[in-house]
Amino acid sequence: MNRLDNFEKTDYVPVIDHDACTKCKKCINICSFHALLYRTGEKEDKSEDRVIVREDACIGCGVCASNCPGDAISLKKVRDSQPARTFQEGIQRMFAGKEAAV
């Protein structure tokens, strides 16, 4: 079972402002889903280093954004999910997602 199977994704993904990012790596260390990677660039001064978002692994929780000391992460809406109207509908969706993932 994929670790993401236990979580519902939000409609958002983080976007990194590379000019504001200080490359402190706090976001990478705080993400429980290993959805952020550090890519080292060619230059020794780290000006080409980048924090990369793995959207397939990200659930859009926003923890990285709220903990970024440089205010370099914003959340972008990428889906328009409709909430379940009833408890039963929510349960049906949950099990339908698990069957589709098998």
Q: Helical H runs in 1-102? A: 26-30, 63-67, 87-101
41 Cβ contact partners less than 8 Å away, ≥ 6 residues apart = 47, 48, 49, 50
> Structure tokens of 79?
């889906």
Distance in Å, CB of 102 to ligand SF4, minimum: 23
Q: Which is nearer to ligand SF4, 79 or 89 (CB)?
A: 79
- Binding footprint of ligand SF4 on the chain (CB under 6 A): 14, 16, 21-27, 31, 33, 35-36, 51, 53, 58-64, 68, 70, 72-73
Distance in Å, CB of 48 to ligand SF4, minimum: 14
Q: How far apart are CA 41 and CA 39, in angstroms?
A: 6
Q: Which is nearer to ligand SF4, 25 or 79 (CB)?
A: 25
